[in-house]
Amino acid sequence: MSLQDAVMTKMKEAMRAKDTVALSSLRAIKSALLLAQTDGSGSVLSEADEIKIVQKLVKQRQDSAAIYKEQGREDLAQPELDEVVVLAQFLPAQLSKEEVKAVVVEIIAATGAKGMQDMGKVMGQASGKLAGKADGKTISTVVKALLNA
């Protein structure tokens, strides 16, 4: 089942359950997917593209929630975090920091990276290999820690 089909199925369930948070989150995914499909490029969305779109939506909501919390607006932050929970169910399981570290260690050994000057090379391969499985901030933190050691 494609992501779009899964979203439509969940939307129907959310409508029946009158779950407004889930419904708004699912509509956001549907809207983002439709915009990407009709952007004029004529390309078909791959599964990786769909995951990137959902990741972007999750990141936007996490950033908004963080800003709201900084300003002491828990009443606005909580709905954003609730939407993150709904959106996250369409993402593959995220790797732990230890699992990311194991993959980065392999990449550093394979590329022969010696220090921070090789960070771009390592990040490029790590981002490609861990796409959808870990966020860029986690990957970057692990790479910096290992290259500075």
Task: Give dist(CA 91, CA 53) in Å, integer.
Answer: 10
Residues 109 and 82 in one domain: no
Domain boundary among 88, 113, 130: 88
Task: Count how many domains the chain has.
Answer: 2
Task: Answer yes or no: are the C-beta atoms of 33 and 52 closer than 8 Å.
Answer: no
Q: Which residue has the tokens 């359950």?
A: 17
Question: Looking at this protein, which amino acid is placed at residue 117?
Answer: Q
Task: Answer yes or no: are the C-beta atoms of 22 and 34 closer than 8 Å.
Answer: no
C-alpha dist (Å) from residue 142 to 100, 106, 114, 121: 7, 13, 15, 14
The pLDDT tens digits of the residues spanning 41-50 come to 767 888 888 8
Confidence of residue 113 (pLDDT cuts 50, 70, 90): confident
Range of the domain at 134: 97-148
Domain boundary among 62, 88, 114: 88
CATH number for the domain that contains residue 134: 1.10.10.410
Q: Which residue has the tokens 């959808």?
A: 132
Number of Cβ atoms within 10 Å of the Cβ of 110: 10
Confidence of residue 1 (pLDDT cuts 50, 70, 90): low
Task: Answer yes or no: are the C-beta atoms of 138 and 127 closer than 8 Å.
Answer: no
Residues 11 and 83 in one domain: yes
CATH number for the domain that contains residue 79: 1.10.1510.10
The pLDDT tens digits of the residues spanning 62-108 come to 999 999 999 999 999 999 999 999 998 988 888 888 888 888 888 88
Q: What does the buried/exposed string (b/e) look like for 9-26 if buried means 16 or more CB atoms within 10 Å of the residue's CB?
A: ebbeebeeeeeeebbebb
Residues 103 and 80 in one domain: no
Tokens of 11: 């939307």
Distance in angstroms between the alpha carbons of the first and the last residue of the chain: 44
Residues 64 and 32 in one domain: yes
Alpha-helical regions (H) of 18-135:
20-37, 47-70, 74-88, 97-111, 119-129
